[in-house]
Structure 1
């Protein structure tokens, strides 16, 4: 059975979150039944460890730059302190987990079912992808991640009858995350990633990404880098052309001004040449025009002052003449 998403809606609606309900994994009747990876889930042990599933991250390794379509687990390495998922993003949280009897793909089974939220505001393209898949009844698959329980004194997963190839029953462990997959699992069932870092050399090849998939990831990353380089080149080319156009526009406007007028904005023109902008043109032209207006006003003021001086001088001359005319000569003295 595929571990798949059962429900995606606005239940218990909270702004920025999309409700999600999904099958974490099937629970088997006995260890004679197991999934394609050889794991047999026993209900008692699932119940014992179920609290670790509450609050576990919902994870996605995105295959595209706009974060819309999932790929795999995103595991990059396994170190002494555990696995690293540096190529994976946390897109949501599981808030609750329970054991239920449900019908999936025409089968009635016991299963561990989780419910939680996807962060819609932060991953809107991914939520759109999920909704479109479920609308087409193409339910995305999930893949649970487990590892040894640290507070148990063991660094590894403890199995009921040891780590056998088929029918091994995880007994003491923690649920550490659930990945939403976008690739078709090689075994036609949801991939289970067992994270047992002390035994990582013995982990089967199904716990690793296929070399061809790794190659595809590398090619996609190279294509993305090439696309980024092309975009950067086009952006620089566009900026250079825009700068030339703006400089030509400024020069066409400066033609109408005298050298003295242009000298007033010499520094601004030099700065504009380094970083052209439409606002810069407006600033330069406005400053020259202000200079011209100031000169006109100064000339007008000087002319008015000169005219006033001439008028005052004329009044003084005619005043003297008028006073002389008022002085009468007494001609009787002559005779």
Structure 2
């Protein structure tokens, strides 16, 4: 029995151009500046019952240009909340092929403990749907992960087919430089190669036979190395500095830039939090630090061998603001679990939705 039974199209009703609950969700979508797009009625209804009223659904049909036109007038930001089964993943990929060229910023909701929004709400209530939205991943990561699951990347043939399929998505993401860089990062990490090497592989126009020969050569080479117990020298990989690293480095080397950044130690992680609990002003010197803290600062200095400029300062400010929002969202989530009044819960969820909107807006800033 099919999950959804639709009536036939008529002169005034066409499934391919209708979005379920759009009339109710329209104003909420404008307010929070993103839409949750579901596959079916029950999934969209589940979000609305949970007080998350910016959800709509296609009427059991694939996403169409007419749907896209309607959504584009409301927001450039979309969260795809499709089923977690293979059919849902394929539908999400097909939708991305249409949405990305239209300039949408797309995230994909991850259903890990249930197959869809309706089941999530039935099992875990409001908190379950909130977690699903929080765990949404970017389109770039979703595409790479979905393709990687289809192939055995340890097998040369599987690896080459994976690279070949990545090329098609590279072309789609190329319209947005920021998305393209994210795509390269996820793809290179998944393929186990450096980013520049991945770009070279994608740019190459080798035939499938050449690709297989290259893969077979690499496999034979690795096998020979293993048989002969040859230890190849490892190239040290320099870790990318974190926000914490930059702040510690700027504290000592760029005090004027450091003063431009407002933060509290509780926003930081690891030893950086400990350091800034000690260094509440600009009077701490390297000589005054304890041995283990001095070693930590030295490690930070070793990571950064370039000048810190205004772009890095803006990156740090943006990252810290996202952390502030995440902290506030976590506080609201804790309160939602405690309150018993529906009105109080509604107010908290409204505030939370606004914070999520702010978070998406900051992330999409170039």
Q: Scaled by the length of structure 2, what TM-score is found?
A: 0.17
Greater share of residues in strand: 1
Richer in helix (by share) = 2
Higher relative contact order structure (alpha carbons within 8 Å, sequence separation ≥ 6): 1
- The alignment's TM-score, normalised by the length of structure 1, stands at 0.18
